[in-house]
Structure 1
């Protein structure tokens, strides 16, 4: 038979999803969806707030954090940075279970010293184990991404506040290395350390709303670059190891793998770790530790002589 559409008819976006069993698919919008028109943005935001209230009443804190995170991203898209900042701060408060967590998280321990002008970075108190025990794996991962987004999209004009947000994000990312596996605790130990297994038995990225791999990688790399520019090079080493694990083992992305390793060599040189930097460059030149270009379960075909 012939399929025809009613060109002059378009459906409105409703506050509840349509019942597809009752859909007759007579208009284009029921088959191919275009991006949400700006006029409908208020309805979506209102739906977000209503859902957040329901989750608040039912004490679904983790889901509420996910929605606040998504709503903040939506506000950034709508160029409403103040509203986005409010949502992300509220999400951090729910993760830490304390008010104004963005500015009071240092109460877990001593204050963080400022970066120095030389290549020797300051010594940090290790908050990561405390974060992991209090916030859990998902809280640390979500908090790390949210703090990175606050630094990237909100604190654009204030270098000090942006750096502090990146430090918080870095420490939350480091918490993933404080699980049962015996990863090194000292930052300098990551100069030549590579992660082969992070969280056995736990799939971090099966639920994209809880942990989206693209968002995690983008936020992690942003934090690495920002802290490198601010001369916090030592704290960056564990983050680079984590980033390389994500792009190499999970994503199998050769370009990002090489990009991170070149940056690592640069950071090692800035730290004065010249032998480690030379080793990293040697590994790059000889194509060592690159992600496999052949999917698991497949075999290479031998060339016919």
Structure 2
């Protein structure tokens, strides 16, 4: 399309200029729409403010939504940005004993906890938990070097989450090799036995570091962590029985025990995920310890 020159700019031939109608018959809406067509660069520059205002409107809506979620929480449980970490009024991250308000706010405050978690929360376990929790906390208080070695303060974050993939991965490998044995792969039997043995060895430091993390918890999170630990201990015992039966050439019974142990391990692992993401267990604990040391 050719264009002709005018005093106000370049206009395509055959397009009538009007104060009411802009280019290509589009209805004008303000003085900016009545400006002449000056090429793609000028058109792009005129479009940028519209995009900028749209982005600012979106960001303002996100900020309003975030502020609305944070306003529902008490000051000690307010959010810091969109993080899952709840912070207190001083800006320090919350300890591991909180009620998981960060997760509740991110879910919009309307989604209830899973039914299994609600059942575990209501279990009358406080007296049983106190029998084990108080002596463990006292022992770790009397032996601070042991506590620091197991809680991961020397590493900069809790040590327990870094160790649990080792036994879980080994047990999963053993289960897969057991399935291969059932399909006629005789070479997989020895590999399965070795995988379960490695998993049991790796479970020892995972259990010790988990008990150390449990000593820091209070309230409902302590009860849930007790069930989490009990599930993992029960799973470990089933795996020990499986390895013993395999050594006695009772491979079929050993496979059954290992499969049951893996199911129990899955329940314990799920509760561990709820402890981390629903209750914030271990979140911010080491950073708070550093802050107290600095002061």
Please identify which structure carries the higher helix content.
2
Q: TM-score range by the shorter chain?
A: under 0.3
The TM-score, its normalising length taken from structure 2, stands at 0.22
Please identify which structure carries the higher strand content.
2
